[in-house]
Structure 1
Amino acid sequence: MNGTLYGIGVGPGDPELITMKAVRTIEHCEIVAVPKTGDGEGVALQIARGAVPNHLENKKIIELYMPMTRDKFLLNKNYDESAKVIAQLLKEGNNVAFLTLGDSTIYSTYTYIHKRIIAMGLAAQFVAGVPSFCAVAARLNVPLTEGAQPLHVLPASYKGAESGLDMRGTKILMKTGKAFDEVKQQLKARGQMKHAQMVQKCGMEGERVFCNLDDADDGASYFSVIVVKDEGDEA
Structure 2
Amino acid sequence: MSVIEEKPSSGRFIGVGVGPGDPELITLKALRLIQSASVVSYLANDEGGSQAKTIASEAFAGVTHAQNEIAIVMPMSTDRSLANQAYDNGAKTIADELKQGKDVVFLCEGDPLFFGSFAYLLERLEGDFPCQVVPGVSSINAASSALNHPLTVLKESFAVVSGRHSALQIDTALEQHDSVVIMKAGRARPRILMALRKTNRMQDAKYLEYIGRDNERIVQDVSTLEDKAGPYFSLFVVTKSERGTR
**Please, what TM-score do these two structures have when normalized by structure 1?**
0.93
Q: Which residue of 2 aligns with 1:177?
A: 186
Secondary structure at the residue paired with 1:55? coil
Q: Which residue of 2 aligns with 1:226?
A: 236
Rounded Cα–Cα distance in structure 2 between residues aligned with 1:56 and 1:188: 54
Contact 2:12–2:130, Cα closer than 8 Å, also in 1: yes
Which runs of 5 or more residues in structure 1 are unaligned?
Answer: none
Structure 1 stretches (4+) deviating beyond 3 angstroms? 231-235
Shift of 1:180: 0.4
Change (3 A) 1:51 1:28: closer
Match 1:135 to one of 110, 134, 142: 142
The percent identity for this pair of structures is 32
**Structure 1 counterpart of 2:137, which letter?**
V
Contact 1:155–1:161, Cα closer than 8 Å, also in 2: no
**Structure 2 counterpart of 1:29, which letter?**
A
Q: Which residue of 2 aligns with 1:38?
A: 46
Shift of 1:203: 0.8
Which runs of 5 or more residues in structure 2 are unaligned?
Answer: 1-8
- Root-mean-square deviation (CA, aligned residues, Å) is 1.7
Q: Which residue of 2 aligns with 1:86?
A: 94
Change (3 A) 1:199 1:94: same
**Structure 2 counterpart of 1:151, which letter?**
F
Shift of 1:234: 5.1
Matched, 1:123 2:133: no
Contact 1:28–1:95, Cα closer than 8 Å, also in 2: no
Shift of 1:57: 7.1
Which deviates more from structure 2 when the two are superposed, residues 47-56 or residues 173-182? Answer: 47-56
Matched, 1:196 2:196: no
Q: Which residue of 2 aligns with 1:154?
A: 161
Q: Which residue of 2 aligns with 1:215?
A: 224
Which deviates more from structure 2 when the two are superposed, residues 197-206 or residues 154-163? Answer: 154-163
Matched, 1:11 2:40: no
Change (3 A) 1:56 1:223: farther
Which deviates more from structure 2 when the two are superposed, residues 127-136 or residues 213-222? Answer: 213-222
Matched, 1:72 2:80: yes
Shift of 1:51: 4.2
Give 1 or 2 for the bigger CA radius of gyration. Answer: 2
